[in-house]
């Protein structure tokens, strides 16, 4: 429900929403009063807490664990579910195919409006055939399979098929160029690359097969390219390396049971990009990533079997595997969307929500900021009454877009569940739940069970000030290290403070216990000795009626050490000019103090982003300063770089 005008909260749960929520049921099952008691219980007795989580989210074991948590190898290498055996495919597909065979498991809509639907029985058959097809290509337990595809039904089937046969899936961003794919497949010695013949984006065809051909020659371990037909286009097939998925399927058996995998059997290597060096392959296991996804999607987003869940993402980003695991493990319906939220018109995202009766919708804040300039009408022209929960991940919010999302898309009735963590975490560190009122852009608490804290440079807890976000206890989704690089894993997360995970985000907890992400540590601004996250600057700018989007960076300054430069995308119809730039600079100094006034306000037509709409501030800074921007494999719009480079020569 909407909060009153005098409340500091934009959404307050109704008694009915609280009583019906999954998190309330979990709290009650523990015999505890509230989330604060849950967090204290998780820290005091992690064995009992994580056992309760496993039971609450309905994990079914081929052999139940004898010990929930074992820290004897060192906290950095904590083992969960000792002795336990389970398989993701059995949890996400097989049991529902037996119990609710006719229920819709996956609904897909393409960029061109085409729609496909699979029941759980149909998904089960597809996963069986996909697993048998991979086996026929020589894939066995522990072998790596690259998965570079758009979000389509076969993508989910192949992802789950890898789990079913005990292979290790390596999801890859479908927009990667050949060098980025090569580096990742070589790192994990992939035996098979699964790829579509192409896909549609904004009405145009994207050729993936040509990319695969470039990749195959440079990956010595690669034996086969498995091509899924999406466009039906003529592509060059190189026998015997290349095989059509649809031709291979009828020739394979479908009766094999899921592999009897242990909880700590490898499931997935998913890569995160750094500013320098080779990408980090985070290793996840059957009892890790899927468990964390299932817990978070239930306890934070309140997802159950009756829900229809859609997250605007890609299989190569953490939220792609996350939503597949989380939605299907609860027997919900997964809605997949191939297209972009504003094609062929600014109402496309909302039309998809209406058409497929989506109840839980997740997007990045940048998607909302990009849709806001089109106004309320594209949203209000559609019946969004099916929505009950809105979700966001990927980056910090600004207040105005958060309020617009909640009040226009959510009709003032839906909570915006803010969620932040990472690929290495398998989900969230901070989140929101159906139990607490929500403030725009804030997190109401750590995700249940996450021992989050904010610390100063000495590792001491701080409140009311920006500090490092850390986690003081292990959790099931914690990566089992970087693939073949354990030292880099320890250096990245465990080297600052003994036994404490340092995540790399600046965060703050205010006097009311609300949590805020202030940006990545490597994005941090330090102006005249004052440290602040770029999100604070960007929120001040986006609050201006002329501004659609903003990015803040620090540049070297002889006096202040670092000076602030703001990059602004104006709303349609707004004219750039000296007066406007002065007004924008004044908005920042009024909100944050005169010492933090921007050295320059630069107007650009677009900001460099990933396909899932994260703004790449490090790229903005590097290009603006004329230095090496580092890894650009996740960059979606290279034209944004040209616009920033033009500023240096103007």
pLDDT tens digits along 105-136: 999 999 999 999 999 999 999 999 999 999 99
**Which residue, chain included where needed, has tokens 């849950």?**
38
Torsion of CA 148, 151, 155, 160, to 10 degrees: 110
The answer to whether the CB of 417 falls within 8 A of the CB of 389 is yes
What single string gives the DSSP state of each residue in 169-238? Answer: EEE--TT--HHHHHHHHHHHT-SEEEEESEEEETTEEEE-HHHHHHHHTT-TT--EEEEE-SS-------
Average pLDDT, the chain: 92
The answer to whether the CB of 433 falls within 8 A of the CB of 447 is no
Query: What tokens does 142 get?
Result: 């522990």
Q: Given this model, what pLDDT does residue 131 score?
A: 95
Q: Given this model, what pLDDT does residue 530 score?
A: 55
The per-residue pLDDT for range 2-27, each reduced to its tens digit, is 665 567 899 999 999 999 999 999 99
The per-residue pLDDT for range 532-576, each reduced to its tens digit, is 668 778 888 998 999 999 999 988 876 666 789 999 999 999 999
100-256: CATH topology is Rossmann fold (3.40.50)
336: pLDDT strictly greater than 60? yes
| Residue 175 pLDDT class (50, 70, 90 cuts) | confident
The per-residue pLDDT for range 259-318, each reduced to its tens digit, is 999 999 999 999 985 434 567 899 999 999 999 999 999 999 999 999 999 999 999 989
Residue 408 per-residue DSSP state: I
- Distance of alpha carbon 29 from alpha carbon 257, whole angstroms: 34
Q: Given this model, what pLDDT does residue 102 score?
A: 98
- Distance of alpha carbon 255 from alpha carbon 142, whole angstroms: 21
629-640 burial string, b = 16+ CB within 10 Å, else e? bebebbbbeeeb
Residue among 648, 542, 642 nearest 600 (CA): 648
- Distance of alpha carbon 399 from alpha carbon 232, whole angstroms: 44
CA dist 61 → 65, 86, 95, 331, 613 (Å): 8, 5, 12, 17, 37
- Distance of alpha carbon 584 from alpha carbon 568, whole angstroms: 9
Q: Given this model, what pLDDT does residue 581 score?
A: 95
| Residue 415 pLDDT class (50, 70, 90 cuts) | very high
The answer to whether the CB of 550 falls within 8 A of the CB of 585 is no
Q: Given this model, what pLDDT does residue 269 score?
A: 98
| Residue 178 pLDDT class (50, 70, 90 cuts) | confident
531: pLDDT strictly greater than 60? no
**3-state secondary structure (DSSP) of residue 141:** coil
The answer to whether the CB of 634 falls within 8 A of the CB of 173 is yes
The per-residue pLDDT for range 229-276, each reduced to its tens digit, is 999 989 999 999 999 999 987 666 566 789 999 999 999 999 985 434
- Distance of alpha carbon 317 from alpha carbon 171, whole angstroms: 8
The per-residue pLDDT for range 181-213, each reduced to its tens digit, is 898 999 999 999 999 999 999 999 999 999 999
For residue 421, give the H/E element and its range: strand 420-422
Percent of all residues in the chain with a pLDDT value above 70, rounded to a whole number: 94
Strand-pairing partners, residue 25, are none
Residue among 264, 256, 254 nearest 86 (CA): 264
- Distance of alpha carbon 502 from alpha carbon 489, whole angstroms: 11
Which of 148-152, 212-216, 256-260, 406-410 has the weakest average pLDDT? 256-260
280-285 and 333-337: which strand pairing? unpaired
The torsion region of residue 18 among left (phi > 0), alpha (psi -120 to 50) and beta comes to: alpha
- Distance of alpha carbon 361 from alpha carbon 608, whole angstroms: 24
515-520 and 501-509: which strand pairing? antiparallel
| Angle ∠(206,267,431) on CA atoms, nearest 5 | 80
Which of 62-71, 82-91, 527-536 has the weakest average pLDDT? 527-536
SS3 readout for 532-600? ECHHHHHHHHHCCCCEEEEEEEEEEECCCEEEEEEEEEECCCCCCCHHHHHHHHHHHHHHHCHHHCCCE
The answer to whether the CB of 115 falls within 8 A of the CB of 298 is no
48: pLDDT strictly greater than 70? yes
Residue among 34, 92, 31 nearest 58 (CA): 92
Residue 155 per-residue DSSP state: H
Task: Look up the pTM and report it.
Answer: 0.85
529: pLDDT strictly greater than 60? no
CATH code 3.30.300.30 region(s) in the chain: 524-649
Percent of all residues in the chain with a pLDDT value above 90, rounded to a whole number: 76
CA dist 391 → 144, 362, 445 (Å): 32, 4, 15
| Residue 518 pLDDT class (50, 70, 90 cuts) | confident
Superfamily for 15-88+267-518? ANL, N-terminal domain (3.40.50.12780)
Q: Given this model, what pLDDT does residue 609 score?
A: 87
Strand-pairing partners, residue 244, are 227
353-373 burial string, b = 16+ CB within 10 Å, else e? bbebebbbbbbbbbbbbbbbb
Q: Given this model, what pLDDT does residue 274 score?
A: 46
- Distance of alpha carbon 408 from alpha carbon 414, whole angstroms: 10
CATH code 3.40.50.980 region(s) in the chain: 100-256
CA dist 332 → 359, 400, 434, 472, 513 (Å): 10, 32, 19, 33, 33
Query: What tokens does 101 get?
Result: 């065979």
What does residue 562 show for φ and ψ, rounded to 5 degrees?
-145, 140
- Distance of alpha carbon 409 from alpha carbon 376, whole angstroms: 9
Q: Within a 10 A sphere around the Cβ of 598, how many other Cβ atoms?
A: 24
Higher pLDDT, 525 or 327: 327
CA dist 7 → 274, 437, 438, 591 (Å): 41, 10, 10, 21
CATH number for the domain whose boundaries are 524-649: 3.30.300.30
Strand-pairing partners, residue 69, are 80
- Distance of alpha carbon 291 from alpha carbon 53, whole angstroms: 9
CATH code 3.40.50.12780 region(s) in the chain: 15-88+267-518
650: pLDDT strictly greater than 70? no
């Amino acid at each position: 429900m909407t909060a009153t005008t005098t409340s500091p909260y934009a959404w307050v749960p109704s008694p009915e929403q609280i009583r019906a929520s999954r998190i309330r049921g979990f709290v009650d099952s523990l015999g505890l009063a509230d989330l604060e008691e849950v967090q204290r219980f998780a820290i005091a007795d992690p064995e009992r807490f994580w056992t309760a989580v496993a039971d609450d989210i309905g994990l079914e074991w081929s052999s139940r664990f004898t010990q929930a948590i074992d820290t004897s190898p060192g906290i950095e290498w904590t083992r969960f579910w000792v002795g336990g055996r389970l398989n993701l495919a059995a949890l996400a597909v097989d049991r529902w195919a037996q119990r609710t065979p006719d229920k819709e498991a996956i609904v897909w809509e393409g960029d061109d409006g085409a729609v496909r639907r699979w029941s759980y029985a149909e998904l089960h058959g597809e996963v069986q055939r996909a697993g048998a097809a991979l086996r026929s290509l020589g894939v066995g337990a522990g072998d790596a399979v690259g998965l570079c595809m758009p979000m389509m039904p076969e993508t989910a089937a192949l992802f789950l098929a890898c789990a079913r046969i005990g292979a290790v899936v390596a999801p890859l961003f479908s927009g990667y160029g050949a060098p980025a794919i090569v580096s990742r497949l070589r790192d994990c010695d992939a035996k098979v690359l699964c790829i579509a013949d192409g896909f549609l984006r904004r009405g145009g065809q994207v050729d993936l097969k040509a990319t695969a051909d470039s990749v195959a020659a440079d990956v010595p371990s690669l034996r086969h390219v498995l091509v899924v037909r999406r466009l039906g286009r003529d592509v060059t097939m190189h026998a015997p390396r290349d095989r059509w998925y649809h031709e291979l399927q009828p020739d394979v058996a479908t009766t094999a049971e899921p592999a009897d995998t242990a909880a700590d059997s490898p499931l997935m290597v998913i890569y995160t990009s750094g500013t320098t060096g080779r990408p980090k392959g985070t290793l996840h296991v059957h009892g890790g990533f899927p468990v964390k996804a299932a817990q978070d999607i239930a306890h934070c987003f309140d997802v159950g079997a009756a829900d229809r869940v859609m997250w605007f993402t890609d299989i190569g980003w953490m939220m792609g595997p996350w939503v597949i695991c989380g939605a299907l493990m609860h027997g919900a319906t997964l809605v997949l969307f191939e297209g972009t939220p504003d094609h062929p018109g600014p109402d496309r995202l909302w039309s998809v929500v209406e058409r497929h009766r989506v109840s839980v919708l997740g997007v990045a804040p940048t998607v909302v900021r990009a849709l806001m300039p089109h106004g309320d009408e594209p949203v209000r022209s559609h019946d969004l009454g099916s929505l009950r929960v809105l979700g966001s991940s990927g980056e910090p919010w600004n207040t105005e877009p958060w309020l617009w999302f909640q009040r226009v898309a959510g009709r003032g009735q839906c909570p915006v569940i803010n969620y932040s963590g990472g690929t290495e975490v398998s989900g969230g560190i901070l989140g929101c739940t159906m139990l607490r009122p929500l403030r725009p852009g804030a997190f109401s608490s750590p995700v249940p069970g996450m021992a989050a804290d904010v610390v100063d440079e000495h590792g001491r807890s701080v409140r009311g000030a920006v500090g490092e976000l850390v986690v003081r206890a292990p959790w099931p989704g914690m990566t089992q290290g970087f693939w073949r690089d354990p030292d880099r894993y320890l250096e990245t997360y465990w080297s600052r403070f003994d036994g404490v995970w340092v995540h790399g985000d600046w965060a703050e907890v205010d006097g009311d216990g609300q949590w805020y992400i202030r940006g990545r540590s490597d994005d941090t601004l330090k102006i005249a000795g004052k440290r602040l996250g770029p999100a604070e600057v960007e929120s001040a700018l986006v609050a201006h009626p002329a501004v659609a989007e903003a990015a803040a960076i620090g540049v070297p300054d002889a006096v202040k050490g670092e000076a602030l430069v703001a990059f602004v995308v104006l709303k349609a119809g707004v004219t750039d000019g000296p007066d406007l730039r002065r007004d924008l600079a004044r908005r920042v100094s009024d909100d944050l103090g005169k010492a933090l006034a921007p050295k320059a306000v630069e107007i650009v037509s677009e900001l460099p982003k990933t396909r899932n709409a994260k703004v790449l501030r490090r790229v903005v800074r590097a290009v603006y300063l004329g230095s090496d921007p580092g890894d650009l494999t996740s960059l979606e719009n290279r034209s944004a770089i040209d616009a920033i480079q033009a500023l240096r020569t103007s």
